[in-house]
């Protein structure tokens, strides 16, 4: 009896303490890529099954509560641990893939189904988000739907044949979200679903297909005096923006993607079509599946239509650039702005290394001082902006600001802002060798902790001797640490990124403010949320996608075997 209590207690304890080292140890699964490793993974799994009677913790508890009676079946729980996952079995045999290609071709015509090698590689791996196994992590086929019915048809074919699917919109995401680690499957490219379906000007909303780019959308909306604020990487499209729960430079003033989605049309893994909501501004009609899909990284459903909120286009937009002797001084200015609740449109920090990269890469038509720099956007009626600029200039002066430059015209504003928008590409352009790699962290902390964590990160970067920088959306407490490194420094670079992430968690922050978890951050997620949270997400995944066909292996691990 004493043992029973001890067991129950230890279960409770493991639920209560989210971030202990022990419960974040991941079993290293060798998911079966070939027939051979598939067999070894089965025997590993069988071992666990024998040991645990099918449900590890549940079986322990129930066997004790049943006075050790064997074979007592545990009641189904509310979470699913990795050990208790049913094994997803993918059929990537030549004949199955050929069969799928034929069916997809008769659904979409041959012009919208391709197995071209270059296209397949470009759909799984980019310089800013490489796939772990390089060109091997690519889809077998890339397909181009035009309608929700097309997408539903594609899902039905893949579901019947047990073929994994990954959605693709702008391809600008980070963290390996697009890598097809099953080394085969179907990539669904939404670029031809790029229509604005309806603009409801009086209601301030718009209905779009997922392949609409936010930049295109905004240039269409501008003619109507309207504006859609989320602004992630140049080239991103609505489908990917919803799935990544993106934000961008406007989030300080306008919030993130989740705040701008009213309702979605979703195709589920088996091809069922679900509309999460119409266009009302509020609703308490059942679970919020819209919110569940936002930031789910394409693992729960395929977005085929979205109703988005809009706002009025600001009358005037101005950009200011201010440089500071130290990062600390720059962040001090940001703190004052945030604490005084000044509704500046955007506050972005680029450190000295990033400013050096901006000059060197040459995406901008001017030279900047290579010291920590804040980029501000002000928007609204002229008189309001004037007042804001006055206050910000004051704060900046108090923090020993070295120079403060304003845009006078719209062209100048765009030109100044260009330095911020191309900062990531500028950093990639200063790689010592073309084959060097790039890692980044996307930590977001409570604003009062920001100066400290950025300063500590700079010290760590210096100690490591690696080329790296801090930049980002400091108005939200969100900053990106980037590291450039040669293969020989891989371990050092990874350790540095992990260090920043752990420090962010210690400060009550998150490891991902906007880029998501993908493959790169999967293990660290447990340190932030605890294994119980991850097991609950796995349970939700299985409820909506029981065969684990949608973007498998992302956010958390799954168990799968592949027949080839």
List residues near ligand NAG by CB under 6 A: 91, 93, 95-96, 99, 258, 261, 282-284, 288, 290-291, 294, 563
Closer Cβ to ligand NAG, 79 or 91, answer by number: 91
CB of 470 to ligand FAD, least distance (A): 14
Among residue numbers 212 through 251, which ones bind ligand FAD (CB under 6 A)? 232-233, 236-237, 239-241, 243-244, 246-248
Under the binding rule (CB under 6 A), the answer on residue 425 touching ligand FAD is: yes
Residue 258: which of ligand FAD, ligand NAG, none does it interact with, CB under 5 to 8 A by kind?
Answer: ligand NAG
244 binds, among ligand FAD, ligand NAG, none (CB under 5 to 8 A by kind): ligand FAD
C-alpha distances (whole Å) from 17 to each of 130, 503, 531 are: 34, 18, 9
Tokens at 155, concatenated: 């899902």
The item of ligand NAG, ligand FAD, none sharing an interface with residue 291, based on CB under 5 to 8 Å by kind, is: ligand NAG
Compute how many other C-beta atoms are within 10 angstroms of the C-beta atom of residue 563.
14
Question: Does 44 help bind ligand FAD (rule: CB under 6 A)?
Answer: no
Backbone angles phi, psi at 56, to 5 degrees: -55, -70
Binding residue for ligand FAD, selected from 323, 551, 555, 561, defined by CB under 6 A: 551
93: partner contacted, choices ligand FAD, ligand NAG, none (Cβ within 5-8 A by kind): ligand NAG
Q: Does 302 bind ligand FAD (CB under 6 A)?
A: yes
Cβ closer to ligand FAD: 57 or 517? 517
User: Any contact of residue 479 with ligand FAD (CB under 6 A)?
Assistant: no
176 binds ligand FAD (CB under 6 A): no
- Six-digit token string for 500: 């920043």
CB 556 within 8 A of CB 522: yes
Q: What is the footprint of ligand FAD within residues 183-212 (CB under 6 A)?
A: 190, 210
Task: Decide: 310 and 206 in contact? Cβ < 8 Å.
Answer: yes
Q: Applying CB under 6 A, does 171 fall inside the site for ligand FAD?
A: yes
Closest to ligand FAD by CB, 83 vs 305, is 305
Q: Which does 190 bind (CB under 5 to 8 A by kind): ligand FAD, ligand NAG, none?
A: ligand FAD
Identify the three-state secondary structure at position 552. Answer: coil
Cα separation, 165 vs 177, whole angstroms: 12
Decide: is 173 part of the binding site for ligand FAD (CB under 6 A): yes
- In this structure, what DSSP letter does residue 27 have? P
Show contacts with ligand FAD in window 303-332 (CB under 6 A). 303
Residue 55's region, left for phi above 0, alpha for psi from -120 to 50, else beta, is beta
DSSP 550: B
**Closer Cβ to ligand FAD, 296 or 399, answer by number:** 296
Q: Using CB distances below 5 to 8 A depending on partner kind, what does residue 96 bind out of ligand FAD, ligand NAG, none?
A: ligand NAG
SS3 482: strand
Residue for token digits 């260090």?
499
Tokens of 42: 């089965």
Cβ neighbors of 369 (< 8 A, separation 6 or more) are 323, 355, 402, 403
Residue that the structure tokens 């600029």 belong to: 389
Q: How far apart are CA 271 and CA 154, in angstroms?
A: 7
- For β-strands 205-208 and 311-312, DSSP reports them as unpaired
Least distance to ligand NAG from the beta carbon of 519, Å?
25
Please name the residue ranges forming H helices in 223-298. 238-244, 251-254, 289-293
Query: Is residue 297 involved in binding ligand FAD (CB under 6 A)?
Result: yes
Binding flag, residue 271, ligand FAD (CB under 6 A): no
Helix (H, G, I), strand (E, B) or coil at 47: helix
Strands 480-485 and 437-441: antiparallel
Binding mask 373-412 for ligand FAD (x = CB under 6 A): ----------------------------------------
Q: Summarize as ranges the residues that interact with ligand FAD (CB under 6 A).
A: 128, 166-174, 177-178, 190, 210, 232-233, 236-237, 239-241, 243-244, 246-248, 297-298, 302-303, 424-425, 514-515, 551
């Amino acid at each position: 009896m004493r043992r029973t209590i001890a067991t129950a207690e230890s279960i409770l304890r493991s639920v209560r303490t989210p971030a202990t080292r022990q419960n974040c140890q991941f079993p290293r699964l060798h998911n079966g890529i070939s027939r051979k490793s598939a067999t070894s993974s089965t025997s590993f799994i069988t071992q666990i099954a024998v040991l645990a009677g099918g449900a590890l913790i549940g079986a322990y508890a129930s066997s004790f509560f049943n006075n050790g009676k064997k074979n007592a079946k545990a009641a189904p729980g509310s979470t699913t641990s990795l050990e208790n996952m049913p094994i997803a079995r993918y059929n990537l045999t030549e004949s199955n893939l050929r069969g799928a290609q034929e069916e997809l071709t008769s659904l979409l015509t041959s012009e919208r189904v391709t197995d071209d090698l270059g296209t397949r590689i470009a759909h799984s791996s980019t310089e800013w988000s490489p796939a772990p196994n390089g060109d091997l992590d690519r889809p077998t086929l890339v397909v181009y739907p035009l309608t929700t019915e097309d997408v539903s048809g594609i899902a039905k074919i893949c579901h019947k044949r047990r073929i994994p699917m990954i959605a693709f919109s702008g391809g600008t995401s980070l963290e390996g979200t697009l890598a097809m680690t099953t080394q085969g499957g179907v990539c669904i490219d939404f670029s031809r679903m790029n229509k604005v379906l309806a603009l409801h000007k009086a209601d301030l909303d718009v209905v779009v297909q997922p392949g609409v780019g936010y930049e295109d959308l905004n240039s269409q909306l501008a003619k109507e005096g309207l504006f859609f604020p989320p602004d992630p990487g140049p080239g991103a499209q609505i489908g990917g923006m919803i799935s990544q729960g993106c934000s961008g430079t406007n989030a300080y003033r306008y919030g993130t993607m989740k705040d701008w989605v009213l309702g979605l049309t979703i195709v589920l893994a088996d091809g069922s079509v679900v509309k999460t909501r119409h266009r009302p501004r509020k609703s308490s009609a059942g679970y919020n599946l819209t919110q569940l899909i936002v930031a789910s990284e394409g693992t729960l459903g395929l977005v085929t239509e979205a109703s988005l909120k809009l706002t009025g286009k600001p009358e005037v937009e101005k950009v200011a650039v201010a440089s500071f002797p130290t990062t600390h001084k720059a962040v001090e200015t940001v703190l004052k702005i945030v604490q005084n609740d000044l509704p500046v449109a955007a506050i972005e920090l680029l450190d000295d290394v990033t400013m050096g990269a901006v000059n060197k890469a040459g995406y901008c038509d001017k030279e900047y001082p290579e010291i920590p720099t804040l980029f501000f956007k002000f928007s609204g009626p002229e008189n309001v902006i004037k007042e804001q600029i006055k206050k910000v200039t004051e704060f900046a002066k108090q923090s020993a600001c070295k120079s403060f430059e304003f845009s006078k015209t719209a062209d100048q504003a765009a030109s100044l802002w260009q330095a911020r928008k191309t900062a990531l590409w500028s950093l990639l352009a200063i790689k010592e060798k073309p084959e060097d790699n790039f890692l980044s962290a996307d930590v977001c902390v409570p604003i009062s902790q920001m100066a400290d964590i950025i300063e500590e990160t700079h010290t760590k970067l210096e100690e490591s001797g690696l080329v790296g920088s801090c930049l980002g959306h400091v108005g939200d407490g969100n900053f990106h640490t980037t590291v450039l490194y040669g293969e020989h420094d891989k371990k050092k670079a990874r350790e540095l990124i992990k260090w920043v992430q752990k420090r962010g968690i210690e400060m009550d922050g998150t490891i991902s403010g906007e880029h998501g978890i993908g493959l790169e951050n999967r293990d660290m997620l447990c340190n932030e949320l605890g294994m119980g949270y991850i097991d609950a997400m796995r349970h939700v995944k299985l409820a909506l996608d029981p065969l684990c066909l949608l973007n498998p292996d992302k956010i958390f691990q799954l168990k799968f075997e592949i027949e080839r």
